Structure 1
Amino acid sequence: MSNIPNIENISNQNTFKRLLLYTKPHLKKLSFAFAILLLATGADVLGPIIIKIFIDDYLTPRIFEWKPITLLATTYLTLLITSVTLNYFQLLTFNKTALWIIHQLRVDVFSKVQHLGLSFFDKSPGGSLVSRITNDTEAIKELYVSVLSTFVQNIVFLVGVLIAMLFLNPKLAGLFFLLLPVILLLMKIYRHLSSKIFHLTRKKLSELNSKLNESLQGMNIIQAMRQENRFKKEFGNINQQHYSSKLKQIKINGLLTRPAIDLVYMMALSLILSFFGIKSLNSTIEIGVVYAFINYLDRFFEPINMMMFRLSQFQQALVAAERVFGLLDEKDLAPSKEGEGRPTITEGLIEFRNVTFSYDGKTNVLKNISFTAKPGETVALVGHTGSGKSSIVNLLMRFYPIKYGEILIDGIPLQNFSNEELRQKIGLVLQDPFLFVGNIKENIRLHNKKITDQDVIEAAKFVQADSFIQRLPNNYEEAVYERGATFSSGQRQLISFARTMAIKPKILVLDEATASIDTETEELIQTTLKKMRTGRTTIAIAHRLSTIQDADLIIVLHKGKIVESGNHQELLAKKGLYHNMYILQQGITDSITS
């Protein structure tokens, strides 16, 4: 058993090494700060020696020669001012560098999140990711800003104090080295006990953020379904667990930081006083030396107290860093280009060849899907909920990697296209449109420099959005708040239509694009959709069969399989699943209209 390494220590060591790697680009600045620190420490350590000289050489023998005394006072004051000034500049340099490091780390984490695959987000709560990017990086910031600079400064100061003690009395200074193992043991015990608690605390904080994010996103459903008390109870339970873990953390801090070190300090003070007391029985002792040792004793233990206090932040930072590096090391990236060359989409011919797909690697949501959408044709996907319609779109958009089967565009495998080519040539309109904070013009353009203001207006006119935009107080400059909450669902959908048409896509993907639009607007949109589909290959998911009756090909899905295909009239003639769905919807429509 003794040969088995401590996994926790190995993990902490690796994490700490990775954190230190972020200091590499700043080694010159840090070296400069360290040099200033050495000078500041030297000035600080020399202070008690100056006082010792004054007490033993002038005060005790009552020799008051003003010139040497004035020189000592001036020297002491100069050392004090020098120490304060240099400490200010070294702390400023350390902290400025630390802020730049954490700035880079946050950019790295955020950039990594942008390139993760949708499969990762399917299983990762949004609140937990927010916690890693904000709370955890903030905890790491304390490592660079407070902990490392404090440790470096205090370790250098401790070395300086020990050197000064050796200069004054080597035997007594040697006794201090016997206290170091006791202090290191306290630190080791503290780290061992606090590590698990800090892991639990960060986990519960992440769960709090997840629950908060979920409740904010679904507030309308929570209130409509009277779930306030349930969410309050669940949030309260997680908060109670977070409270309990924080309380354990406080107890450990209260026992093993200041009180334990103060106990060792009192032992050391008793040791010094006993040493000089016994020595005074046989010989005279210098009061200045006693003063200097007691002064150095205070200066020796104050840095240790500071380091023990910072050790809590150090441990929290390591735990937070493990979570952040876990995110940075995530392998579930969004699918990207494979192979050589840079093929382009020119015709828009889409082919699915024996495509089988599973989200979890166990249950297939698509089974041996094969069909062809010719250039300029509209292919509609219909079927009950869970039949696989959205999965086909997700694969065509390359949101998920294909493991079984093949998808080709213009005869070229989907994975051979660059992301830029796919996103520029395939336009996507979702059932639930997403608008970004900004204004309408920015939401249509999406900061694409190739799209001019005139292109934005033309796209809006093309999809019948210009009329309502022109009625707004600020027209295309009208502010858009989070998720476009101040616009109706139909208006948000029209803006997303304009956004799609602004890039002039070769392939159009519509996920029940008219579901959020009222009947009167839908008639206009249907006319618009016909114009949008002209000259473009269109894949349309449809729940209302009345919207896709003119499709060139209708594919009927059931439990991940294609069970029927053909145009509207052909499928009605088969009197199969499509016929039953159509009759059912017509019956509902007739009952409503009657």
Structure 2
Amino acid sequence: MSKITGDAFNVNLLKRIFQYVKPYRGIFIWSVILTILLAIVAPVRPFLIKYTLDNYILKGQYHGLLVMTIVMLVLLVLQSAIQYSHTLLTNTLGQSAIRDLRINVFNHITTLRLKYFDKTPIGQLITRTVSDLETISDIFSEGLIVIIGDILQVIAIIGVMFYADWALTLMVLLPMPLLIIATSIFQRSIKAVFQEVRTEVSNLNTYLQEHITGISIIQYFAREEQEYLKFKKINKRYRDANIRSNWYYSIFFPVVEVISAMCLGLLVWYGAKSILAKPLGVTPGTIAEFILYISMLFKPIRELADKFNTLQMGMVGAERVFRVLDTDERTINKGTYVPEKMEGNISFHKVWFAYNDENYVLKDLSFNVKAGQTVAMVGATGAGKSSTINILNRFYEIQKGEIKIDGVNIQEYELSYLRTSIATVLQDVFLFSDTIFNNITLNNPQITMDEVVDAAVKVGAHDFIERLPGGYQYNVMERGATLSAGQAQLISFIRALVYNPSILVLDEATSSVDTETEILIQTAIDKLMKGRTSIVIAHRLSTIQKADQIIVLDKGEIMETGNHQELLKLDGYYKRLYDLQFHSEGIAK
């Protein structure tokens, strides 16, 4: 991975960027050809004006003037057509390459382990995928190709100027070292500011994403004023960074104009002196030609610093984006085992697991679940129940031990097969801003409407869905905001069922619904668990009394195992949990 330096011509980084240009090689080649043509055509018009002035206007030859006027109009149209094509192609090239890169970045992000998202703000990833990628597209539309074109144009103009009058050219270029010094100072100064701007954009996006997502918490605790003040500080830093960048521009551009005026003054002084001293030397046409050349010369030079910094911002954006792409925190999918059907025998053997590789949340965990059985996991918050489910799905990798399904290590299964064979219903239901049907199928074309309706009927959700405007085509809005918690939970349960899993996982699946909805779900659960291996995690012990096996966890260790009656007879940890819960419920009643 490239170290972030902000160097505008980091060759290795440019090579990586141009890997995405390869599919559009034809567009790139034509962009380069048009860039060269623009550099060649640019000096021609001033030369024609000089020739027309000296040979036709001053001599009163109106026919020749008419011919040259037509020639210059044709040239202008040709130059405009080339410029139009050049702008269109460079922008098409940039947007096409960025489209492919953005798809690549999104695809890579979706394969990263949950551990990566535990420590990376979502707003930062949004910045990488959106605004940082846009700065890379500027490398093509406003950066590298355009810079090369401007440099070629400057070289061509200076070459023609020397050909026209080398002494006059030297006089005109006397202030150029001042421009080079000013450009160098400007480029170094603006570089640090641009990096600061990109950092503040990332901070702004992160803050907005987190606080808009958590707006209900802010309002519940009346924190609007405090969060408003905090946002003002972040926004002020972003504004100040932009003002500093504008400040450098406000100094640089007037300096360029002053130097340009100096060149023009030297041209007029030296040219007039030469005409008066030697009328046949420098002609009025030459003076007019050089005035146009000075304008054409300083325009790309003035813009060169700006475009150079556009290129630099693109490189900074590219380094940030490739840092994400170079992240190796992905679940390694080397497994190839895809049986015709997974039976659902689960075996944990001496499993140790830690989120940070140091503090183990699961310690020497060993248990077996036979196909078709229902096993329940109980314990206090932080006991390791959800962690057990996370490692079964390979969302996190274990440090020691072995997990097998049907006698095969889970790492030997093809990853997508493993995860689609284990359907999970979580306590915190997430619904996308989409239709109910698409939220259930997750846009899987192999799942039909009949299958969705059948699963909804089994769960008992069909009637309420049909009452919604549009039925299964009803848009639930972001995070299911237009549905109750119970309705959202029912939809997530249908989502799990339509994939016809071999293993069903219910992680606190009924804890956020009302009693009536819980009874509805529990009835469906009893039917659907039959013949399917099921793992149930629940705080309410009343929901797991029919389980074939109950595993009692505490601080990542198995304290007791057995069915409900066996554990009550032990008069141990489970019995204390049971008595405490039902005593509390009795008080509540």
Q: TM-score, normalised by structure 1?
A: 0.93
What's the CA shift for 1:394?
0.4
Q: Which residue of 2 aligns with 1:353?
A: 349
- 1:463-490: CA deviations, max 9, x gaps? 1111222322322222221111111111
1:393 offset after TM fit, Å? 0.5
Summarize deviations over 1:71-114 as a string: whole Å, max 9, x none: 22222222222212222222222222222122222212211111
Note the alpha carbon deviations across 1:163-191, whole angstroms, 9 max, x for none.
Answer: 22122012333566666665444444333
The aligned length equals: 585
Residue 261 (structure 1) aligned with residue 256 (structure 2): yes
Opposite residue 270 of structure 2, the aligned amino acid is: F
- In structure 1, the partner of 2:65 is 69
Report whether the alignment pairs 1:101 with 2:87: no
User: Which of the residues 296, 300, 313 maps onto 2:293?
Assistant: 296
CA contact (8 A) 1:345 1:421 kept: no
- Cα distance, 1:341–1:215 mapped onto 2, change above 3 Å: closer
Please say if residues 556 and 564 of structure 1, whose CA atoms lie closer than 8 Å, have aligned partners that are also in contact. Answer: yes
Counterpart-to-counterpart distance in 2, 1:81 and 1:499: 61
Q: Would you say the 8 A contact 1:556–1:562 is kept in 2?
A: yes
Q: Within 5 Å, which residues of 2 pair with 1:67-216?
A: 67-174=63-170, 182-216=178-212
When residues 336 and 392 of structure 1 are mapped into structure 2, their CA distance, relative to the original with a 3 A threshold, is: same
- 2:38/2:79 contact within 8 Å kept: yes
* Aligned position for 1:34: 32
Distance verdict in 2 for CA 1:181–1:475, change over 3 Å: same
Aligned residue type for 1:328? L
**Which residue does the alignment assign to 1:523?**
519
Structure 1 position 193, deviation (Å): 2.1
Cα distance in 2, alignment partners of residues 186 and 115 from structure 1: 47
Question: 2: distance between equivalents of 1:373 and 1:177?
Answer: 85
- Whether 1:583 aligns to 2:558 is no
Q: In the alignment, which of 365, 376, 380 is matched to residue 372 of structure 2?
A: 376
Q: 3-state DSSP class of the match of 2:130?
A: helix
Partner of 2:244: 248
1:287 partnered with 2:288: no
Is the 8 Å Cα contact of residues 123 and 202 (structure 2) preserved in structure 1? yes
- Matched residue, 2:540: 544
Cα drift, residue 556 of structure 1: 1.3
Q: Deviations over 1:366-421 (max 9, x none)?
A: 11111111111111111111111111110011111222111100110111111231
* 1:307 counterpart residue number: 304
Pick which of 178-187 and 129-138 moved more: 178-187
Percent sequence identity is: 37
- Equivalent residues of 1:43, 1:82 under 8 A apart: no
CA distance in 2, matches of 1:382, 1:418: 30
- Aligned counterpart, 2:323: 326
Structure 2 unaligned residues grouped into runs of 5+? none
Residue type of the alignment partner of 1:382: V
SS at match of 1:480: coil
Change (3 A) 1:255 1:311: farther
The residue aligned with 2:450 is: 454
1:345–1:410 contact (8 Å) kept in structure 2 = no
Paired residue secondary structure (2:7): helix
- Listed one character per residue, the Cα deviations across residues 325-366 of structure 1 (whole Å, up to 9, x for unaligned) are 211211111x14325554455321111111111111221111
How many Å separate the matches in 1 of 2:248 and 2:13? 23
2:32–2:145 Cα contact (<8 Å) kept = no
Q: Counterpart in 2 of 1:232?
A: 228
Give the aligned residue type for 2:220.
Answer: A
Tell me which amino acid in the other structure corresponds to 2:208: L
Contact 2:147 2:308 in 1 (8 A): no
Query: Is the CA contact (8 Å cut-off) linking 1:40 and 1:82 kept in structure 2?
Result: no
Shift in alpha-carbon separation, 1:180–1:543, aligned structure 2, 3 A: farther
Moved more, 339-348 or 407-416: 339-348
Amino acid of the structure 2 residue aligned with 1:555: I
Name the CA shift for 1:7/1:207 in 2 (closer, same or farther; >3 Å): closer
Query: Using the alignment, how far apart are the partners of 2:584 and 2:315 within structure 1?
Result: 60
The question of whether the paired residues in 2 share the 8 Å contact of 1:198 and 1:319 is answered with no
Q: 1:183 to 1:25 in 2, by over 3 A?
A: farther
Confirm or deny: 8 A CA contact 1:40 1:84 kept in the other structure.
Answer: no
Shift of 1:278: 4.9
Counterpart in the other structure of 1:463: 459
Q: Cα 1:27–1:445, aligned 2, differ >3 Å: closer, same or farther?
A: closer
Equivalent-residue separation in structure 2 for 1:539 and 1:421 (angstroms) = 19
| Ranges in structure 1 where 5+ consecutive residues have no aligned partner | none
Deviation digits for residues 547-590 of structure 1, max 9, x if unmatched?
11111111111111112222212222222222211111111111
CA distance in 2, matches of 1:87, 1:181: 30
Match of 2:44 in 1: 46
Secondary structure in 2 aligned to 1:353?
Answer: strand
What's the counterpart of residue 56 of structure 2? 58
Q: Write out aligned runs for 1:356-367 (5 A).
A: 356-367=352-363
Aligned residues of 1:395 and 1:401 also touching (Cα < 8 A) = yes
Instruction: Tell me: CA distance 1:316–1:9, structure 2 relative to 1, closer, same or farther (3 Å).
Output: closer
Question: Is 1:272 aligned to 2:264, yes or no?
Answer: no
Q: Which amino acid aligns with 1:547?
A: T
1:565-576 alignment to 2 at 5 Å? 565-576=561-572
Contact 1:194 1:315 in 2 (8 A): no
Amino acid at match of 1:516: S
TM-score, structure 2 normalization? 0.94
Distance 1:318 1:450, change over 3 A: same
CA distance 1:22–1:504, shift in 2 (3 Å): closer
User: Which residues of 2 match residues 508-519 of structure 1 at below 5 A?
Assistant: 508-519=504-515
Distance 1:528 1:105, change over 3 A: same
Q: Deviations over 1:8-31 (max 9, x none)?
A: 538844433433333233232232
Stretch moving more, 524-533 or 51-60: 51-60
Following superposition, the deviation at residue 287 of structure 1 comes to 1.3
State the alpha-carbon separation in 2 of the partners of residues 30 and 524 from structure 1. Answer: 61
Q: Assess if the C-alpha contact under 8 Å between 1:358 and 1:364 holds in 2.
A: yes
